[in-house]
Chains A and B, each alone.
Chain A
Amino acid sequence: MSFWAQAWEVARTDIRIESRAGEVFKVVTPFAVVALLVFPIALGFQLSVVREIGIGVFWALSILFGMQIALRQSAADSLERRDVQALLGVDPAARFTGRVMSATLLTLGFMGVLLVAMTLLYAPSLPDGWAVGLIVTSALMAVGLAELGTLAGELTAGLRNRANLASLIVAPLAIPLVMGASQSLEALARDESILPWVLLLAASALALAVGGVALARPLEEAAQ
């Protein structure tokens, strides 16, 4: 079985497990929408402020809840499942890649729902040409988040305080992703090129991909 066939098989299995567990779309997404409702209440229903911060809240919630998608319980392998995969000869790098692929797809779906909800609830003021900018930056951000979350999930596998610890690892390392995403729309609003910020996002995602694939075997051993 080729590398990509293995990766695709891992991703397909993850998606199938998620479709049965419903952790992302039945738990994480509604929780994120509730969080969207909290901000205007906390700000005293000031419509102008809500419109102004809409897109910023979207990025912040994407990071905070997006990392929960990569760290979801349904993606945490039991020791037995890891042993089976090892005995089947699944390449650790393919396993990492597959897991990132599934987490990316789920994160993109989550971000899509969140964007629609944010647009309806906040009626944000968006710059011209925002659609292309938002699609590109969201896609890169989803990939980066999925990679970071998968790495942190492996590092904290089996630990008592896994959820908090993994979030503590992911949140600070995700800052270049938030910065790239938020600044690209800011650049559009200022009529400037978004290329430097897209490059920052792409470089972060690429560095994490290279790191994840290179460290896949030690990560596999570390999770035992």
Chain B
Amino acid sequence: MTRTKILFGLAGIALAYGLWMAFTAPPDALQGEYARIINIHVPSFWLAFLAFFVTAFGSIMWLSRKRQRWDRLANSSAEVGVVFTAIGLVTGMIWGQAVWGIAWDWGDPRMASTAVMFFVYLAYLALRAAIDDPVIRARRSAILGAIAVIQVPLVYYSVNLFRTIHQTQSIRPDGSTLPDEMLVAMLVNVAAFTLLYIALLSARLEVAKAEESAETESVLAGDAVKPPKISEVKDV
């Protein structure tokens, strides 16, 4: 069994356990059953933030070392981060519709800044898709990957910087505002999502490696194989 399959297996088990804990934790006093969605919403964003920091790390490492593996890491992590951001945005909108009565609130800087972050990384992926040369692609996307990460602390601290209806962080260095059962369920889900992130990243890295070798092989074949001369082609 490959490492990626093992990781997916572990992530599946952890996610099942996390969801079971999320559904068996007591409902919130104010939000009722809707509070359970936080067990997907919050870990998605935490992992998206982690993914974008990994992208920035890979980008900076590529700029300093020029090794292809750092570009693979940056790109793969950005793709996974975009998926987690999309999950976080969608679950947040479902929760907002249920609890606030509105799916998208312009008075909430957290939502607006998260959407901005999402589009910045979509632009990162679009930039990569527009460039064929692997070295130019790596160089340009590394620069954007290193700059784009500035958005992450802005998104995280937006609820502290602006007056907003979005609640501030529930888990802080000085303690948690969540009851113990909800806190444990949330942390188990964070661990499960972390495993899922590692599994997805591992799978994407394998695909990226395969893509690179396919590109190299096609270039080699292109050099080696010459089209036959017209005079040599016989009618069949």
Binds B, one of A71-79, A107-115, A137-145, A153-161: A153-161
In the assembled complex, the Cα of A222 lies from the Cα of B207 at a distance in Å of 25
Please give me the residue from chain A that is nearest to B154 by CB atom. Answer: A176
Chain A residues near B122 (CB, 8 Å)? Answer: 168
A176: chain B residues at CB < 8 Å are 154
Give Cα distance in the complex from A172 to B116, angstroms. Answer: 5
Contact B143 A218 (CB under 8 A): yes
Mark B153-166 against chain A: 1 for CB-CB distance below 8 A, else 0.
01000000000000
Interface string of B127-152 (1 = CB under 8 A from A): 10011000010011011101110110
Is B120's beta carbon under 8 Å from chain A?
A: yes
State A163–B41 Cα separation when bound (angstroms).
Answer: 35
- Cβ contact within 8 Å between A168 and B119: yes
Given A175-B112, A175-B113, A176-B154, verify A218-B119 contact (CB < 8 Å).
no
Which residues in window 128-179 of A have CB below 8 A to B?
151, 155-156, 159-161, 165, 168-169, 171-173, 175-176
Q: List 26 A-B contacts (CB under 8 A).
A: A151-B143, A151-B147, A155-B127, A155-B143, A155-B144, A156-B140, A159-B131, A160-B130, A165-B123, A165-B126, A165-B127, A165-B130, A168-B119, A169-B120, A169-B127, A169-B144, A171-B119, A172-B123, A175-B112, A175-B113, A207-B150, A211-B146, A215-B146, A221-B139, A222-B136, A222-B143
Interface on B for A, CB 8 Å cutoff? Answer: 63, 112-113, 116-117, 119-120, 122-123, 126-127, 130-131, 136, 139-140, 142-144, 146-148, 150-151, 154
Which residues on A are within 8 Å of B, measured CB to CB? 151, 155-156, 159-161, 165, 168-169, 171-173, 175-176, 207, 211, 215, 218-219, 221-222, 224
